[in-house]
Amino acid sequence: MAECPSLSGCVSQGTSKEDAIVNIREAIQGYILALQEDGLAVPLKSFQTMLVAI
């Protein structure tokens, strides 16, 4: 699973890590395009993240 915390609800997944990265990039691009089409601001927040596998 891949997530963009700056864009609420912008998540994706893939059958591999590489697929998830490709898919989240596409999701981010689509999300930003939708914001722009609706005349909304694109959030500029950034986050530090940590992945913990159990």
Which tens digit of pLDDT belongs to each residue from 25-49?
999 999 999 999 999 999 887 767 7
Please state, for a pLDDT cut of 70, what percent of the chain lies above it.
Answer: 89
The C-alpha R_g of the chain, in whole angstroms, comes to 12
Q: How many CA atoms lie within 13 A of 49 on its CB side?
A: 9
Separation in Å, CA 39 to CA 4, 19, 26, 46? 20, 30, 20, 21
- Residue range of the domain that includes 32: 1-54
What is the mean predicted confidence (pLDDT) over 11-25?
Answer: 93
pLDDT band at 50 (very low <50, low <70, confident <90, very high): low
Number of independent structural domains in the chain: 1
> pTM score, two decimals?
0.79
**Residue 31 near residue 53, CB atoms below 8 Å:** no
**Residue 12 near residue 30, CB atoms below 8 Å:** no
CATH number for the domain spanning 41: value is: 3.30.160.250
